[in-house]
Each structure stands twice: as structure tokens, then as C-alpha cells.
């Protein structure tokens, strides 16, 4: 029988005179109560459908000090990235290294980029297409080439065969593997250090053999990427910088 979709209910809770807004998510898949908070400081309290809502609320109240700490961390993190903002960000990560963006306008030539010392010089058309969109297109094309080359190489090492590769703008995923072994990757991976990028490739290639995240799956990942937990941590700590 198909499971029902989760229900999201806007909610509030008062702790020490302070009003906290959050979304109560009644889940038909989750087995445990959990709390998540994103960079927009949106809080989600997920409660399994068979658990009383009051139990979830009590769990949230106990976690208020943790939530306050996380909110302060997010505020500090967002202050640290203000230097990146502009028509496009003033700085950008490329293969894990920070560069200052420079723009050169061209007419009738192919767009692209050039690295010079700490500068990443983008050659863009002076037309109606926003500069940001042109830069994203350039980075996506670069990611397609890099990801294809490294996926072919790693698939040979892992003795696995994939169907095709697609690189696109994925909002919440770094990569995915379809039932037909088609691999999808986020173009923002081109901003990551190569070991992190290759970890994501290995992760998705491992799904060709094991479609879940069981112990067998992680054994495959560990075999070909023993330091994968370090790469996961890098993504958690830097994901907010992987944008244009």
C-alpha cells in the first residue's frame, strides 16, 4: 500500500517569553522525532504519524537552547559571505580555491573563463542575458566535462558501468542514480575540491550496485573513498558558498 504524503502544519511555540515559528511535519515514513534548520532559519519538527504531537512539542522545547545556538551560527555565517554579493558574487570557489571574479565583455565570440593568479576572468556577451546566467552556463559546461571525465575514470576503477550523465541545477541534491543507472550531478560540484567532487561520483557509482544506504553500500564507498566523512563535512560547512 502506498504511504501517504507528509503533512506540513505552520506552528509556534513560546519558550522563556520568546516566540519560535516552526513547521510541524507529520511523517508517514520517519521512525523518529527530529528537528532540522536551514540557512533561512526555517525550523522543521518532524514527528512520525503514530507519535502524539505533544511528545514532539516537548522534544522541541528541550532543544530550544540548541536552536538558539544554531540560529546564532547561521547569522554569523551569513555575515561572513556578504563580501560575495553583488550583481554576481565578487568571489567564487572553483575546484576548492577562492578566486575574485572579473568580467570582460565580448561580441560575437564564445563565452568562457580564464584563471590568472587569484582572478577568475569570465568572458561574457554584452547583451540581454544577465551576467549571472551566463556565468552559470559557463560553469555548468565546465562541470559537464570534468564530471564526465572523472566518472569514466572512476567507473573503470570500480568496475561499474553507468548509462548516461546529466549535469543540472539541483536545489537539494549533489547527485543521484536512477533505477536505470543514469547519473545526475549538481553543476555546483565544480566549485568543490577535487577529492570532494570525486567522493560524490563514487557515492553515486556505488548506487549502481546498491540502491540504498545500507552497510553494504557504505562498505563500497569506504573501499574507494576512505576519507568520505571528511568530504561530507566539507560540503556541510561550505555549501552556502557554492553559488553565483
pLDDT bin (cut points 50, 70, 90) of residue 84 is very low
User: What mean pLDDT comes out for the span 35-53?
Assistant: 88
* Chain mean pLDDT for the chain: 87
Which CATH number applies to 133-241? 3.30.2010.10
Read off the pLDDT of residues 115-138 as tens digits, 9 standing for 90 and up.
988 889 898 887 778 888 899 999
pLDDT higher than threshold 50 for residue 87: no
Q: What is the pLDDT of residue 4?
A: 64
Residues 6+ apart with CB under 8 A from 225: 198, 199, 202, 203, 231
Rounded mean pLDDT, 30-37: 90
* Domain residue ranges in the chain: 7-80, 133-241
Percent of the chain past pLDDT 90, that is, above it, reads: 52
Please tell me the predicted confidence (pLDDT) of residue 82.
Answer: 47
How would residue 79 be classed by pLDDT, with cut points 50, 70 and 90? low
Residues 163-218 have pLDDT tens digits of: 999 999 887 789 999 999 999 999 999 999 999 999 999 999 999 999 999 999 99
Q: Which residues contact 8 (CB under 8 A, 6 or more apart)?
A: 23, 24, 25
Q: Model confidence at 30, in pLDDT bands (50, 70, 90)?
A: confident
Q: How far apart are CA 157 and CA 204, in angstroms?
A: 14
Tell me the average pLDDT across 54-64. Answer: 91
Exposed, middle or buried by CB within 10 Å (0-12, 13-18, 19+), for 242? middle
Residue 80 has pLDDT above 80, yes or no: no
State the pTM of this model.
0.66
Amino acid at each position: 500500500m502506498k504511504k501517504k504524503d507528509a503533512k506540513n502544519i505552520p506552528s509556534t511555540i513560546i519558550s522563556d517569553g520568546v516566540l519560535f515559528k516552526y513547521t510541524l511535519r507529520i511523517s508517514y515514513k520517519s521512525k523518529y522525532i527530529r528537528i532540522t534548520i536551514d540557512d533561512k532559519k526555517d525550523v522543521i519538527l518532524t514527528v512520525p504519524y503514530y507519535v502524539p504531537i505533544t511528545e514532539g512539542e516537548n522534544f522541541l522545547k528541550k532543544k530550544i537552547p540548541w536552536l538558539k545556538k544554531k540560529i546564532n551560527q547561521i547569522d554569523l555565517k551569513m555575515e561572513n559571505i556578504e563580501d560575495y554579493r553583488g550583481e554576481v558574487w565578487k568571489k567564487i570557489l572553483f575546484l576548492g580555491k577562492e578566486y575574485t571574479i572579473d568580467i570582460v565583455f565580448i561580441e560575437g565570440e564564445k563565452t568562457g573563463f580564464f584563471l590568472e593568479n587569484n582572478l577568475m576572468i569570465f568572458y561574457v556577451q554584452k547583451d540581454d542575458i544577465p551576467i549571472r546566467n551566463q556565468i552559470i552556463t559557463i560553469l555548468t559546461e565546465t562541470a559537464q566535462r570534468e564530471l564526465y571525465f572523472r566518472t569514466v575514470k572512476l567507473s573503470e576503477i570500480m568496475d561499474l558501468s553507468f548509462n548516461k550523465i546529466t549535469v543540472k541545477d539541483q536545489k537539494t541534491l549533489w547527485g543521484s542514480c536512477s533505477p536505470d543507472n543514469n547519473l545526475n550531478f549538481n553543476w555546483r560540484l565544480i566549485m568543490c575540491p577535487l577529492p570532494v567532487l570525486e567522493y560524490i561520483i563514487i557515492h553515486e557509482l556505488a548506487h549502481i550496485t546498491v540502491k540504498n544506504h545500507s552497510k553494504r553500500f557504505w562498505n563500497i564507498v569506504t573501499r574507494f573513498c576512505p576519507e568520505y566523512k571528511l568530504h561530507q563535512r566539507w560540503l556541510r560547512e561550505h555549501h552556502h558558498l557554492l553559488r553565483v
